[in-house]
Structure 1
Amino acid sequence: MEIDVIIPLYKPGKELFTLLDKLGSQSVPVHQVILLNTEEKYFEQLIYGIRFLETYQNIKIYHVSKREFDHGGTRRMGVKKSSADVFVMMTQDAMPKDDRLIEKLVEPLQGEVAVAYARQLPREDSTPVESYTREFNYPAKSRIKSAADLDSLGIKTFFCSNVCAAYRREIYEELGGFVRHTIFNEDMIYAAKAVEAGYSVAYAADAQVVHSHNYTNGQQFHRNFDLGVSQAEHPEIFAAYPSESEGKRMVKDVTVYLRSNHMSAGLPHFYMQCACKYAGYLLGKNYRRLPKKWVLAFTSNKEYWKQNRKDV
């Protein structure tokens, strides 16, 4: 079975070399790593003076402009560059925890499972809230989710992350692949299609990557604005299973965590962060009612709105 890894890049740093080295030493070999780089000049600056293609001989690099990049469309392009039976989507800031990431990630891809996603562990510099949030979204226990779980899990049934996720090509092609044009959530939109078609989504807790962010309140606002936009543009998925209830549960759990660990002093900052996230999300869901200049001020992806859109 051939396995390719597809990674979108933007202004990559030297950590990319560490990531490629770790992918090159996996217990299950990676056939090819496909890099989808946005803006060629940044990649050329990184590898200047390095015999990159001689060192990493299974790498294929494709460049797009910033204006051409799209969360769904660029990944679709990457999949078309691969002919592997299974392809793994990753982000440039996700670092394999060990040499069994690929092995454990593809293990659940059998039967009706269409996609499997990895557990995300916090970086050493993560704040307590970010560390707990990783645990909230990526617990230690694996599970397989299907339409039978919709009543109990709601939107969590579709939860999937292209930070690190493996896809079966035959099912991907059957379902029509990633949505061509989306500002965010291409992974969950695909997972929802898979569940709707009778397939399952696997969470592989033994497949682990180190990945987290200490976002500022402003960054949280912009990120959640885009999240709200993606949900507004796909009501066929998100209208029936709103994410607000899951957000409320996380706020309650983090509050209990901080209090029980004698970190109540961090609650005001956490609640302010939650307010910024919710404000961004709510405005994003209602972006069609906003002036264009507001949308461009609130989004974290201004290029998305320049791609022949007529609703802004």
Structure 2
Amino acid sequence: MIKAQINDNELNSHIDSLEKDGLSIFVMADGRARGALFHGTRFVNQMRSQHNLGILETMVLGQASICAALMIPMMKGKEHLTWHYDTNGPAKGFSVEADSSGYVRGFLYENHIPVEKPLESWDLSPFLGDGTMTMSKVHPGDKAPQTSSVEILYKNITKDLAWFFQQSDQIRTAFNTSIFMDKSGRVMGAGGMFVQVMPETGGTKDSGSNTASGADQKVDEELIEKIENAFFACPSLGKWFSEKGKTEDVVHGLFREFEPAIAVERDIIFDCPCSKEKYIGYLKTLPKNELADIKQNGPDPLEIVCRNCGSVYKIPVSEII
């Protein structure tokens, strides 16, 4: 990836004053629940610069990319995930990818979302519409990706993603994303969080039977309700991080009743493994007649834009023929 520069000294100064980006993975409630909190202010600003996005476009792809980052802790071993959100709304949707190595990349299907009137809120549902979302996962050695699809139910990125996990994995999951902008439209803070309550393993404590007792089920439902209430009491993470708030204060403040412990800290970046050398390799595999036509008629240099990160590569014809 050719890293785009953020040419805003005031914004850069603000970003430098914040806690560094990072993903904090935590467990709580004696292992019954897990989650992750992601500070992604630099992450979202880099994504925005790569694609040169406007305010609305930054909100859509920013939310999607933060969610993709939050799914990295759920990956098993070396895994690559692709998430397509296809909608009939003005935004048309997006495609984002997350890799277990710690990078996220992605793009909007519509880079200039049409807006008919001034925005009155950050409710994105009028721009998303009906459609389907598809999740594909691939591991090294897989002959084909493992793919699951569900209908878009809420026209809300975080709610639809939680709905996907409920349908595909039967795991109660909640996502929260937040991007805070100043009056000039700068991204001053960004972050996200997910929490999952793992299914009860089954059996009563004494009998070991395959079904939990009514009392156990009631206690379990109460635990889930308490965790959900704590989750939804989360402050605006974008504003929190913009004001130099700390990650650990959110985790321990919201979930102190469940004795959370941050188990792993990870760096997550908006990045792309594309390169000039890779594109040269692809071009060299073109049929001979196409290469001959390029040599005779140009253009020279060839200009290739990576749709996943917006990088522009100018490749002289002499380097492929």
**TM class by smaller structure:** under 0.3
Question: Greater Rg, structure 1 or structure 2?
Answer: 2
Bigger fraction of residues in strand? 2
Bigger fraction of residues in helix? 1
With normalisation by structure 2, the TM-score equals 0.26
**Higher-RCO chain (CA-CA 8 Å, sequence separation at least 6):** 2
